[in-house]
């Protein structure tokens, strides 16, 4: 992204997938380089207990997509096997999890919801 500034490029928007939903993006890029960035994020629901439990195993489910989806899958199968209530309300359709997508944008120190009617 820093090459955008280096080559004096001014894109209208920078669209990104889940890959850039990472706090390292905030510290490794300049604010002006990510000004018009929009990230499609599907990590939308967590609770403190699951975050803590996963952290004991060095699994980040707040920003890491693989760890997050694994936790959702374990939650789903745990419900099937034991009948316990699910922690995640992510719907299953045709044997596939349907993850909700939320658009976010990087701010100075965190990710914030993207509002499509924002003024430049």
pLDDT above 90 covers a percentage of the chain that reads: 28
CA–CA distances in Å: residue 44 to residues 2, 20, 37, 96: 28, 15, 19, 17
Q: Are the C-beta atoms of residues 18 and 65 closer than 8 Å to each other?
A: yes
Beta strands in 11-113 (DSSP E): 14-16, 37-41, 91-93, 96-98, 102-106, 111-113
Q: What is the pLDDT of residues 85-94, one digit of tens each?
A: 999 888 989 9
Which segment of 1-5, 8-12, 76-80 scores lowest on mean pLDDT? 1-5
Sheet of 102-106: strand order equals 14-16, 37-41, 102-106, 111-113
Residues 42-79 have pLDDT tens digits of 988 888 888 898 898 888 988 888 899 999 999 999 99
């Amino acid at each position: 992204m820093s090459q955008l500034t280096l080559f004096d490029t001014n894109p209208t928007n920078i669209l990104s997938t889940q890959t850039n939903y990472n706090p390292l993006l905030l510290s490794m890029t300049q604010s002006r380089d990510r000004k018009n960035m929009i990230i499609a994020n599907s990590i939308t629901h967590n609770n403190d207990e699951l975050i803590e439990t996963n952290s004991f195993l060095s699994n980040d489910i707040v920003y890491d997509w693989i760890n997050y989806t694994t936790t959702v899958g374990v939650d789903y199968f745990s419900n099937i096997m034991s009948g316990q209530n699910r922690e995640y309300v992510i719907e299953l359709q045709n044997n596939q999890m349907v993850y909700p997508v939320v658009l976010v944008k990087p701010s100075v120190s965190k990710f914030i919801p993207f509002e499509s009617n924002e003024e430049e």
